[in-house]
Amino acid sequence: VDEFGLIAKYFSPLTKGYAGAHNLTDDAAFITPVAGKVLTVTTDTLVEGVHFLPHTAPDLVARKALRVNLSDLASKGAKPFAVMLNSVFPRDFGSDWIGRFAAGLSQDLDAFDCCLIGGDTVASVGPLTIGITAFGWSDPACCPHRSGAKAQDDIWVSGTIGDGGLGLLAAQGKLPDPGGALQSRYDLPEPRIALGQAIAPWVSAAMDISDGLLQDLGHIGKASGLGAEVFVSLIPLSASYGHSGYGGLAALTMGDDYELLFTAPADHADQLLRLAQTANVDITRIGRMMVPMGIICRDQDGQDVTPLRRGWQHFS
Ligand SMILES: [Mg+2]
């Protein structure tokens, strides 16, 4: 099957009738603005051997690539509606592999009420590489940035921290994972879309955690011109994480959480907890923003236990 045959067979159906996608037969897609909304756009690329293990099932590759992008939109309070897909498939991948990839993508596009509106498909000798660009609509008054945190704001996270990082170790056979709970957090992160939209009017800054909580909190601190204090004993950990023998401090530097990290004035706490309950996601206060720059982690006795390495970096 050639490029155009592949697109017609496997990817055109994923437009799910979106008129501006023209069934993936045109040079560009057309997005009609929605009155009173901001178009919010993000892109993330996954490379085999860097973001997922070699020989990962094709449907899981597609679903993770979509979900990490939707997680970014969620952190900005956006409701996703469309994506573009840039795929670099190794030359020896047959149409069976690509068909299973498209089926996985279709499943999650349905699950998150999105469609495919365009992209590019090439064959290469390099590793499998999947780039997705995701589009969402936001309320213009509720687009949280990294830069809006204020001194004394509470720092919150959604869900539990560290499971994705341990999931990678489990997938590599380095950690027992009975039932596969940890690996499923690594393979299929859950973008917090409903929560992100609900809390957007009430937060001062927000992002999703992809490269380690401490490192990503450092981004909020830097952008906001502030430091932060994090209390390790408050970090929410899952039962599976607890059984692993790793402590809360280790969870702060592991990647692949795809939970929301946000700051808010202390008097918004009750409202945030109510909204999180409605969205059916736990949220936990883990610290506060402070005037002195830098991130400090404290144990139960108030001792400084800040680790030297904060998270994952591509160029180090
Ligand atoms: Mg992000």
pLDDT band at residue 309 under the 50/70/90 scheme: confident
Is the per-residue pLDDT at 268 higher than 50?
yes
Task: Give distance in angstroms: CA of 73 to centre of ligand 1.
Answer: 8
More confident residue, 192 or 95: 192
Task: Give distance in angstroms: CA of 261 to centre of ligand 1.
Answer: 10
Task: Give distance in angstroms: CA of 196 to centre of ligand 1.
Answer: 13
Task: Give distance in angstroms: CA of 81 to centre of ligand 1.
Answer: 18
Mean pLDDT of 244-257: 93
Is the per-residue pLDDT at 3 higher than 90?
no
pTM of the model: 0.96
Task: Give distance in angstroms: CA of 290 to centre of ligand 1.
Answer: 23
pLDDT band at residue 82 under the 50/70/90 scheme: very high
Kindly report, residue by residue over 213-239, the tens digit of the pLDDT.
999 999 999 999 999 999 999 999 999
Closest CA to 232 of 221, 215, 248, 217: 248
Is the per-residue pLDDT at 4 higher than 90?
no
Is the per-residue pLDDT at 311 higher than 80?
no
Task: Give distance in angstroms: CA of 9 to centre of ligand 1.
Answer: 32
Is the per-residue pLDDT at 313 higher than 70?
no
Give the model's pLDDT for residue 310: 72
Give the model's pLDDT for residue 314: 59
Is the per-residue pLDDT at 166 higher than 80?
yes
Task: Give distance in angstroms: CA of 209 to centre of ligand 1.
Answer: 6
Task: Give distance in angstroms: CA of 13 to centre of ligand 1.
Answer: 29
261 and 217 in contact (C-beta within 8 Å)?
A: yes
- Among 30-39, 181-190, 303-312, the range scoring the smallest mean pLDDT is 303-312
Is the per-residue pLDDT at 316 higher than 60?
no
Task: Give distance in angstroms: CA of 254 to centre of ligand 1.
Answer: 14
Kindly report, residue by residue over 55-79, the tens digit of the pLDDT.
999 999 999 999 999 999 999 999 9
Is the per-residue pLDDT at 315 higher than 60?
no
Closest CA to 150 of 291, 296, 294: 291
Give the model's pLDDT for residue 248: 93
